[in-house]
Structure 1
Amino acid sequence: MRTIKRALISGGAGFVGSHLCEQLLRDGVSVVCLDNLCTGLRSNIKLLEEHPDFRWVDHDAVEPWPELGDFDLVAHLACPASPVDYAELGIETLRVGSEGTRHALDVALAKGARFLLASTSEVYGDPTEHPQRETYWGNVNSIGPRSVYDESKRFSEAITVAYRRYHGVDTTIARIFNTYGPRMRPDDGRMIPTFIHQALTNRPLTVSGSGQQTRSICHVTDTVRGLSALAHSHHEGPVNIGNPIELSVWNVATKILESTGSSSPIEYHDAVIDDPQKRCPDITLARSELGWEPLIGADEGLASTIEWFRSGLAVSALESNHL
């Protein structure tokens, strides 16, 4: 396993990014977080800022990056990741996947650092292969409403591989499947925070389409363990990081209703354009090469996430970010 003493994390104030910063600090790594809070929250890193080995740099990843010292790891997580965000910030999403990824790779090249790209299961599109293996090329609409995110990540993967091939950068790619947990924004727009917020406020749970489309949900603690394992490895990726237990959207909604004790009804709305009907990772590679697999089941993970939302932390974090 490689040694990492100092890491640069773009998007480190985001949902997954802040948890990764926290995990690395816990492991004794000095962390620099680069984030302009476009979709991240200052509250996500407020406690981390008290740590002597943590530094936040307010900077837009699409602009040339400042000199920040030497690093053993550059992890590029900066990107609007929720449908609500990238629908509003389409050009910004494409730019952070292209220009932002190039800047991150240039830092890794200059510093001789390991480079970790946080990619997504969305590169598989609405898959015709099930479950999805890393060798699957995907079924993606390159001009659809979701394309700003899908193609941003697909380009990010392509330029990452190009820097490895042409410049010898030590790169790896994680394809992250649906991740959830504390620090998700209640207005995030993704399935789980939306359902939880609706259930806790006694509003109907809005399910798009039939509700029979499937997702595999992975608690953020497990996702971050996978990212850390990949960063510390010598594997070039891509590697699926997700939970191979497949659940229907309707099943997730009913689990949340049961766990919250809410009497909210389920309302069915028109299906979202290009919404994947099947989503489930094959994690054979992660198990064999990283010794990683998720440990937190859906019932346990949803219960802890609901408790965090119920405590009011989600709403107060969102409000404090706009003060």
Structure 2
Amino acid sequence: MSNPVPMAEIWRGPFLESVHSGHAVICDAAGNIVESWGDPDFMMLPRSSSKMIQALPLIESGAAAAAGIGTDQLALSCASHNSAAIHTDRVSAWLETLSLSESDLRCGSHDPKDTEAHHALIRAHEKPCQIHNNCSGKHTGFLTLNKHLGGGPEYNDPDHPVQMAVREAFEDVTGMDSPGFGIDGCSAPNFATTMHGFARAMAFFAAASEDGGSVRERAAAALVQAMTTYPELVAGEGRACTELMRAMDGRVALKTGAEAVFAAIIPELKLGVAVKIADGSFRASECAIAAILVKLGMLEPNHPATLKRMNAPITNCNGITTGYVRPAEGVF
């Protein structure tokens, strides 16, 4: 991995015990780099941090309007949710309005991250289904688009009209051709770009307005509004995206992704932020994004949601504080 720099540090007492390195870029609406750490040209897979880009064709195609999609459903289309009832009940109802079912999804299943939902399945002697997949909202959005386009059932295929529309949107907002894709945990293609390209895309969302501009700009603004209106649907209780968005009173849209990617959309500053930690550590990506948001004046340094991730105490089994997770020098 080319030229990553320290982004987060683990201190145990007075000793620097571990260092997490990575890359980060802050980009303005013109596509210019405002500040960067590491290599802005590092090629990366944005993973679930790109879900708002994947949702653009849902709106701009007219599919969302035709299906009567609400703001909460748009938030779910950008979500990596906990599979709590507030998530799965909405996905189930959404599928029903499409006259589709769980079997039409192609995301696979996994156990809910929400403890109550997990225990409810155990008590009922039931196994999780695809609706419990954290990406089921995104995939129901894909199905909504697919029904509008009249495509075949395998909407995850890279050459399917749904994914071709996603790729076109992705390349447009990142400002560059993607060199290819990896298959994500939910089996959808995840297109690659540079750190600069991904931050540029987030800045596009930050500058977008529902009051004018292109169809794509209005779609982007609607998705940002949905995410900040329903932070609990984007992730869930206890999760960084939800807690930090609440801490900033809806002024910033946040989205994490697998392998320690984190994205921020800041409309009032018209800035986009992309973070990628080289070793895939979520404690480091959460620390880095919190530090950058504090640096930009968007997040209060002493808010409980901030302190849970930036300068966060590390405790042992006896509840003794043994160290801290801190941003590296130069990040904050």
Q: Which fold has the larger relative contact order, with Cα–Cα distance below 8 Å and residues 6 or more apart in sequence? A: 2
The verdict on a shared fold, with TM-score over 0.5 as the criterion, is no
Q: Which has the higher strand share?
A: 2
| TM-score, normalisation: structure 1 | 0.29
| TM-score, normalisation: structure 2 | 0.29
